[in-house]
Amino acid sequence: MSGTEVEENAAARPKAPRAAGILMRLEYWGFRIVAAVARALPLDTASAVSGWLWRAIAPHLRRHRRARLNLAASMPELPEAERERILREMWEVLGRTFAEAFHLDALHADRSRIAITIDPSLMALMRGGGFVLASLHTGNWEICGVAARQTGLRIAGVYQSLKNPLVDDFVTATRAPFYPLGLFSKGHDTVFKLMRILRSGGDVAVLADLREHRGVAVPFFGRPAPSNPFPALMARSQGVPLVAIRVIRLEGARFEVQGERVPVARTGDRTADVAATTAALHAIFERWIRERPAQWMWGHRRWG
């Protein structure tokens, strides 16, 4: 490990719980209790129970309405009954993903649960080091880090920090073992840290399908969507490959990981290149979501 990697890992290690009010502490200990219960159950049981609960409860919550509107605007050709079926299955997928987050070590240990079907030539390119991996919230996105560790890839990750710093530290500590080059919360200096990792031959992974307020607007399901330019910017500026990755949930807590290389535009116009590459990435995302719409997270404010 290079000096840069040691420095970045030290910066990215989960910190001790920060000062927090009593409500945050209560929320934290409630989360710890849920985590303990999930950990006490076998993986398949925890996944199934959590999926059933989310499927039963979430359709009655406010976010279900947003998800319904997003799906109707994006895939209006589907009958209403089919869209409702998709959304209920989506909630089950998200519920399973929540519980499985407490069993990442078990998922890593049981290699029969994750089938990695990336083209051998692309896998060889990735094993060479120095690439940007962009994924989306589908199937169970946490499997990306687990699969990377199983294949021997050394990656750094980016995540959106949670509002409760105590819960954030706990969740980050759970994920950190799968990101040996560091796990970084989004911030003004994160780009520079990850650029240094790429320059030193490391790999960077980012979830790139959420709305980015100051991002570039690209077509997504027929509408302009403010999108994260970060993967395209890093790949272009560092001259490294950009790879789109998705996790498909097969049955229960079993998965398939697929990848596709994204063409990176490299002309004399950096702004246009980043926009074109971001659009190409989201075209792949849209195609994947259309194939399995029930496995994507429709409830977030993707279009504003």
Residue 13 belongs to a domain: yes
Tell me: pLDDT of 103 over 50: yes
Q: What type of residue is 211? A: R
Report how many domains make up the chain.
Answer: 1
**Residue-averaged pLDDT of the chain:** 91
Residue 301 belongs to a domain: no
pLDDT of residue 20: 55
Residue 303 belongs to a domain: no
Tell me: pLDDT of 3 over 80: no
Tell me: pLDDT of 131 over 70: yes
Mean pLDDT computed over 70-89: 97
Where in the sequence is the domain holding 126, given as residue range(s)? Answer: 3-295
Residue 38 belongs to a domain: yes
Tell me: pLDDT of 189 over 60: yes
pLDDT tens-digit series, residues 6-26: 333 434 444 444 445 889 999
Residue 304 belongs to a domain: no
Mean pLDDT computed over 96-113: 96
Tell me: pLDDT of 248 over 50: yes
CA-to-CA separations, 150 to 96, 103, 144, 287, in angstroms, rounded: 21, 15, 10, 27
Q: Which residue has the higher pLDDT, 164 or 188?
A: 164
User: What is the 3 state secondary structure string of 185-239?
Assistant: ECCCCHHHHHHHHHHCCCEEEEECCCEEEEEEEEEECCEEEEECCHHHHHHHHHC
